[in-house]
Amino acid sequence: MCIVFFHVGSDDADNEYKLILISNRDEFYDRPAQNMGPWEEDVNIYGGRDLQTGCEGGTWLALSTCHKKIGLLLNLPGVHKDNAKSRGKIVENYVKSDLELNNFVDSMKEYFQACNEFVLVAVEFGNEVPIVQTYNNGNNELKQWYDQYLGFSNSLPDQPLTKVVAGKCKLQDVCLKYKKINDKDQLIEELITILKSEER
C-alpha cells in the first residue's frame, strides 16, 4: 500500500522541525521511475517521476520551494472507469500552481470527476503553521487536518487503515524523542523503521 505520515511541529517551542514527512510508494519494482530530485524544467520542484510508457512525467509526490507546497496522490481501490483520465499530472499541476487547494480543486473539478478515485494530500507551508488538507474526488470532500501527527493511505482519510493508526502512534513516539537537528541521523533511522512495518 502507499502510505504517508506527517508531523507538524510548529506548536512545540522545543521542536526544531516545522514539518516532517515520510512516505512509501507501493508499486511494481519493474515499473521504471526517476528518483526524487530537482526537475529539469523547474529546479524549484523536487519529486520522483513516472517513466512508464504512456505515463511519462507523471508524479505521485512533489514539493515546490517556490510556491511552498507539497502534493501527494493516493489511489483508492474501487470501480475503474472506462477511459478514465490520468491522475499522473494532478500533483504536478498542483505544485506548479499558485492557487490554494480549494481554488485548485474548483479549477480542476471536471477533470477530477473523469479520473478513477483518489485522495490528494496537500501541504501548504508558506505560513508559520503548515496547512494540511485532503481532497477525495469520489465524494468531492475537501478537509483540513489540525492534528500534529497525521497519516493517510489507500483509504478514505477519515477511515484510516490499521497500519496508519499504528504508524501515527509510532511517529509520535519518535518525534517526541528526537526534536533537535543534531539528532537527525537517529530520527531518520527510526522513521525508516516505521515505513518498514509489515502491519496492515
40-87 tens-digit pLDDT: 999 999 999 887 777 667 899 999 999 999 999 999 998 899 999 999
Enclosing domain of residue 66: 3-195
Residue 200 included in any domain = no
Using CB atoms within 10 A of its CB, is residue 131 exposed (0-12), middle (13-18) or buried (19+)? middle
pLDDT at 99 over 90: yes
Total count of domains within the chain? 1
Residue 14 included in any domain = yes
CATH of the domain at 38: 3.60.20
Render pLDDT for 127-185 as a digit per residue (tens, 0 to 9). 889 999 999 999 999 999 999 999 999 999 999 999 999 999 999 999 999 999 999 99
Per residue, the 3-state secondary structure of 126-185, as one string, reads CCCCCEEEEEECCCCEEEEECCCEEEEECCCCCCCCHHHHHHHHHHHHHHHHCCCHHHHH
What is the chain's length? 200
Stated pTM of the model: 0.92
Residue 186 included in any domain = yes
Specify whether the CB–CB gap between 121 and 74 falls below 8 A: yes
Specify whether the CB–CB gap between 50 and 57 falls below 8 A: yes
- Nearest one of 168, 128, 178 to 14, comparing CA atoms: 178
pLDDT of residue 200: 74
Residue 86 included in any domain = yes
